[in-house]
């Protein structure tokens, strides 16, 4: 189904009253392929939905049975540790049957096309498919072919939407901002391989949509042309980029996506772009430290920074990740589960005009 009778007046009225548009109007998308597809209030809606799961996950008894009887397939065509585990735990905590498909042991290795694999998963009547793939756009392609919600767990250098959502939630909690808050005026500096990082792209989209002031920093060879158009301020001097930062987000060099030499050497990269304790002193006092993992300690981030007891949010990012993925799986399956206010509404499928 395409299109939605979603008047901007309805949305504005809902938002003005401090709430979201009613029922499924709050999140009309069938799929989550990227932050770029979402309006600001839809991002906030997912963050707010995740709050209940943060609370549940801190209880000894973590089970909920919302998705009981549903099958979720995690189809990972690229390596992953935390994202795969996080989606698996999220699905299981909501009571779904979760199946993991690893490309290394699948028919992909025998030459099967992506579309054929997608059609196979579809024929098994999955209720949601979570996909990670090395090609930008592959997730959207699959979403256009299958009959159930598709969630992007990272596609090439395009997007990693749940990472950006979990990062925003982590920042909101760490700054003591209440539910429904955006990140208006929060100063974030993102540093690393901006050219190849899907985490950078999704975070730039999410943070700017939520009102944060975002500095981005990379060596000239790893700085995408025209990045200013994303509403961020680019720097090649990390010391300058750190000035005023309340949050510093470090990114790994995405060696697996590099063809050729982008940095002179890891040693020189650390010298200019590594987050050391000394360099962190150029940010705001008590600036918070983030990294999506996996970290290359001693290159983009020093251990003293990554393990900083009061300022590192890295394990809290992992915690938020499970809650965000529970929220996404819950919200995206509401229509199929017949949740009142959701079941009778049309949805926007990836690839269709909003």
Minimum distance between the CB of residue 188 and ligand MLT, rounded to whole angstroms? 17
Burial bucket for residue 309 (CB in 10 Å: 0-12, 13-18, 19+): exposed
Of 152 and 333, CB closest to ligand MLT: 152
Residue of 86, 163, 203, 320 that binds ligand MLT (CB under 6 A):
163
Q: Does 133 bind ligand MLT (CB under 6 A)?
A: no
Q: Does 321 bind ligand MLT (CB under 6 A)?
A: no
Q: Does 35 bind ligand MLT (CB under 6 A)?
A: no
Of 25 and 190, CB closest to ligand MLT: 190
x/- mask, ligand MLT, residues 244-263, rule CB under 6 A, reads --------x-----------
Q: Does 317 bind ligand MLT (CB under 6 A)?
A: no
Q: Does 316 bind ligand MLT (CB under 6 A)?
A: no
Of 253 and 348, CB closest to ligand MLT: 253
Of 198 and 316, CB closest to ligand MLT: 198
Of 163 and 320, CB closest to ligand MLT: 163
Q: Does 196 bind ligand MLT (CB under 6 A)?
A: no
Minimum distance between the CB of residue 342 and ligand MLT, rounded to whole angstroms? 30
Residue of 24, 28, 154, 156 that binds ligand MLT (CB under 6 A):
154
> Which residues from 198-237 bind ligand MLT, rule CB under 6 A?
198-199
Number of residues that bind ligand MLT (CB under 6 A): 7
> Which residues from 287-306 bind ligand MLT, rule CB under 6 A?
292
Binding site for ligand MLT (CB under 6 A): 154, 160, 163, 198-199, 252, 292
């Amino acid at each position: 189904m395409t299109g939605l009778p979603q008047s901007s007046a309805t949305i504005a009225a809902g938002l003005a009253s401090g709430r979201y548009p009613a029922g499924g109007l709050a999140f009309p998308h069938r799929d989550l392929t990227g932050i770029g597809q979402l309006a600001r209030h839809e991002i906030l809606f997912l963050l707010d939905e995740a709050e209940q799961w943060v609370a549940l996950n801190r209880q000894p008894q973590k089970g909920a049975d919302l998705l009981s009887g549903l099958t979720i397939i995690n189809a990972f065509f690229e390596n992953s540790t935390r994202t795969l585990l996080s989606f698996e735990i999220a699905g299981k905590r909501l009571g779904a049957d979760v199946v993991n498909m690893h490309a290394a042991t699948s028919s992909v290795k025998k030459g099967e096309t992506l579309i054929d694999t997608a059609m196979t998963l579809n024929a098994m009547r999955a209720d949601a498919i979570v996909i990670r793939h090395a090609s930008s756009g592959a997730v959207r392609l699959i979403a256009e072919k299958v009959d159930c919600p598709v969630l992007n767990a990272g596609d090439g250098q395009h997007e990693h939407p749940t990472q950006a959502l979990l990062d925003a939630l982590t920042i909101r909690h760490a700054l003591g901002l209440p539910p429904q808050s955006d990140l208006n005026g929060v100063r974030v500096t993102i540093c690393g391989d901006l050219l190849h990082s899907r985490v950078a792209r999704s975070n730039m989209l999410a943070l700017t949509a939520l009102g944060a002031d975002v500095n981005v920093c990379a060596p000239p060879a790893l700085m995408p042309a025209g990045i200013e158009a994303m509403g961020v301020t680019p720097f090649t001097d990390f010391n300058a980029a750190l000035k005023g930062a309340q949050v510093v987000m470090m990114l790994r060099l995405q060696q697996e996506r590099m063809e050729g030499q982008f940095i002179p050497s890891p040693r020189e990269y650390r010298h200019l772009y590594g987050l050391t304790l000394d360099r962190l002193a150029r940010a705001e006092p008590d600036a918070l430290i983030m990294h999506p993992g996996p970290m290359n300690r001693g290159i983009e981030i020093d251990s003293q920074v990554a393990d900083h007891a009061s300022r590192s949010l890295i394990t809290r990012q992992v915690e938020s990740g499970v809650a965000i993925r529970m929220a996404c799986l819950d919200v995206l399956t509401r229509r199929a589960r017949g949740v009142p206010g959701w079941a009778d509404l049309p949805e926007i499928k990836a690839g269709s005009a909003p």
